[in-house]
Amino acid sequence: MEFLEAAQTLQENGWLSHTPVAFQDAVLSRATFHHYRAGEVILRCAQPGNAIVGLAQGCLACQLPPRVDASSLVHLFAPGSWTGELAFFCGGVRRVDTIAYTDSYCMRLSKTNLDKILKDDPGYWQWCNLLTALTFDVTLMTLDALTTFDATARIAKTLKRLAIISEKTSLAKTSQADIGAMAGLSRKGAHDALKRLEQMGVVRCGYGTVDILCLDALEQVIQGVKSKA
């Protein structure tokens, strides 16, 4: 992937696709293009928020600080997603690590360059606020899944969140253990829940892959479990 292709992907997907062309141009003209290898730390926890990163190709993972009792994986980012804005806008330190889940191509915008953009046009702050709102929405979806008692519904909500964010029903190559971690379940718990969803004809599981066969059916599973509560 080259710079122009990455820029086009970010203009057509996610946060920037909801902003004016002038703002898109201001951001992308000041961003730098990077290739990260799988497993490489892109934004490190407890470090100053001096940049945000937009994913053009591949998959990024959001992880809490390492724990000995459970996986720290929280969320997977699809192309079009941007991350790192909380510490970036607030001036604090990062609460999570962002790593390359797979080989990934990204745009990186430094705080210095964003400050220049906002100095030239303070009205652009509304589009920065939009990024924060989009992230907050993902956070609420994550909390909704994690506070759901039924394991099948919890997995269904986690899959729905990943599908909505990626705007795809074929998810990035993801292990059942990682899906379980994002749903707050053990590997066995995730496997059993995915098996139930597969038997219901809602998903198809392969080696390291999960395909959602019907988002409407996934929603019906979620609503069905809700109605039994």
What's 52's domain CATH number?
2.60.120.10
**Does residue 39 sit in the same domain as residue 138?**
yes
Which of 164, 174, 220 lies closest to 197, judged by CA? 220
**Does residue 164 sit in the same domain as residue 195?**
yes
Residue 56 has a pLDDT of 95
Host domain of residue 202:
150-228
**Does residue 159 sit in the same domain as residue 129?**
no
Environment class of 201 (CB within 10 Å of its CB; exposed 0-12, middle 13-18, buried 19+): exposed
**Does residue 129 sit in the same domain as residue 174?**
no
Note whether 203 and 222 are within 8 A (CB): no
Q: Which of 120, 142, 164 is the last residue of a domain?
A: 142
**Does residue 158 sit in the same domain as residue 221?**
yes
**Does residue 170 sit in the same domain as residue 66?**
no
Q: Which of 112, 142, 172 is the last residue of a domain?
A: 142
Q: What CATH number is associated with residue 178?
A: 1.10.10.10
Residue 46 has a pLDDT of 83
- Percentage of the chain beyond pLDDT 90 is 59
Q: How far is residue 48's CA from residue 94's CA, in Å, rounded to a whole number?
A: 6
- By three-state DSSP, how is residue 43 classified? strand
**Does residue 132 sit in the same domain as residue 159?**
no
Q: Which of 81, 111, 142 is the last residue of a domain?
A: 142
Q: What is the pLDDT of residues 181-216, one digit of tens each?
A: 999 998 899 999 999 999 998 888 887 778 888 888
Q: How many residues does the chain have?
A: 229
Q: What is the pLDDT of residues 98-156, one digit of tens each?
A: 999 999 999 999 999 999 999 999 999 999 999 999 999 999 999 999 999 999 999 99
What total of structural domains would you count in the chain?
2
pTM: 0.85
- H or E stretch including 25? helix 21-30
**Does residue 48 sit in the same domain as residue 124?**
yes
Count of beta carbons in the 10 Å neighbourhood of residue 158: 26
